[in-house]
Amino acid sequence: MELRQLRYLVTVVEEGGFTRAAERLHLAQPGLSAQIRQLERELGQPLLDRSGRSVRPTEVGEAVLPYARAALAAVDGVRQTVEEYTGLLRGRVAVGLVPGTLAHAFDVAGQLAEFHEAHPRVEVTLTEDTSDRMLTALRRGELDLAVLGVTEETPPPGVDQHVVIDEPLVVVAVPGHPLFLEYDAAGAVPPTALRGHRLIGLPRGTGMRGVLERLCAEAGFRPHIAFEAATPDALGRLAARGLGVAVLPGLGPRPGLATLRLADPRARGRVALAWRSEGPMLPAARALLGRLRKAMGAGEA
């Protein structure tokens, strides 16, 4: 078994096929396929399922991938650690972001620009996705860092996090909506009151959607999500058109919309900076994590 074969395996899985993987690796496709088959013969098990339109790992391949990534990360870490002592930071950092992060007050875009200026040989890749998928990617080593929505203050297994946004959830709708005619004087609405109303929420797999679904399930019903949008601002705009009741973080007044607090102490909209708690972190990723933690008020990593 050779290190390059593990790199080839990981690249084929990431690209979903041999053609794109060969282009990325600057190899001929037949040679790449031959190296993977040689690795499979040595291990005695097929690692890739080639039967579909895209190439996917087999059950054995899925189990092997974390070890392959760890081996590659260890070798890269040795190289980058030596370079770090000479003052030259290289490498690649994969960052995941929930939609709307780049527009937030803690200025992730500005931090990335300053990081790039300080370390021009570090390649930073950005991905926007749902929180659930980014959490899985973190655990697999496909992402180094992520800014994602979380349902709890305590991090899930295998992950460390620093919560950067923690706001009570509110419901908003156009003035005169039936829900507000009933509860406006109270200033708060229980989750049970959302039953039967057309709701506007973030997509499944986001932290805030997870909180909403859990509260409704505990109240004995499934929420009727009539519209979905990727950011809280978009939810508010849909609500302003009279399309339903939006559930979003209480980040200040929203002109033209009536607002009620969601009356449950667990109804919180949380966004956190997250990273793997297990295994080594390459110097470039560690440097970016330290910068983001400092910018977000968590101190150095």
pLDDT at 88: 58
Predicted TM-score (pTM) of the model is 0.67
Q: Final residue of a domain: which of 35, 53, 88?
A: 88
Whether 260 maps to a domain, the answer reads yes
6, 108, 115, 105: which is closest to 61 by C-alpha?
6
Q: Whole domain around residue 60: which residue ranges?
A: 1-88
* CATH number, domain containing residue 236: 3.40.190.10
pLDDT at 171: 93
Whether 103 maps to a domain, the answer reads no
Is the pLDDT confidence value at 35 over 80? yes
Packing angle between helix 59-85 and helix 131-140, nearest 10 degrees?
Answer: 70
Is the pLDDT confidence value at 105 over 90? no
* CATH number, domain containing residue 72: 1.10.10.10
Q: How far apart are CA 233 and CA 229, in angstroms?
A: 9
pLDDT at 73: 82
Q: How far apart are CA 287 and CA 116, in angstroms?
A: 11
Residues 177 and 83 occupy one common structural domain: no
Of the chain, the percentage scoring pLDDT greater than 90 comes to 41
Q: How far apart are CA 90 and CA 143, in angstroms?
A: 17
Whether 261 maps to a domain, the answer reads yes
Whether 69 maps to a domain, the answer reads yes
Q: How far apart are CA 127 and CA 143, in angstroms?
A: 9
pLDDT digits (tens, 9 = 90+) for 237-295: 999 999 999 998 886 667 888 999 999 889 998 899 999 987 778 888 888 999 999 88
Whether 136 maps to a domain, the answer reads no
Residue 103 carries which DSSP code? G
pLDDT at 95: 94
Q: Which tokens is 121 given?
A: 């040989």
Mean pLDDT of all residues belonging to the chain: 87
Q: Which tokens is 166 given?
A: 């923690």
Spell out the alpha helix ranges (H) of 51-205: 59-85, 108-118, 131-140, 178-183
| For range 110-134, the mean pLDDT | 89
pLDDT digits (tens, 9 = 90+) for 164-209: 888 899 999 999 999 988 887 678 899 999 999 999 999 998 989 9
Whether 221 maps to a domain, the answer reads yes
Domain count within the chain: 2
Is the pLDDT confidence value at 300 over 60? no
pLDDT at 76: 78
pLDDT digits (tens, 9 = 90+) for 142-153: 899 999 998 887
Residues 170 and 258 occupy one common structural domain: yes
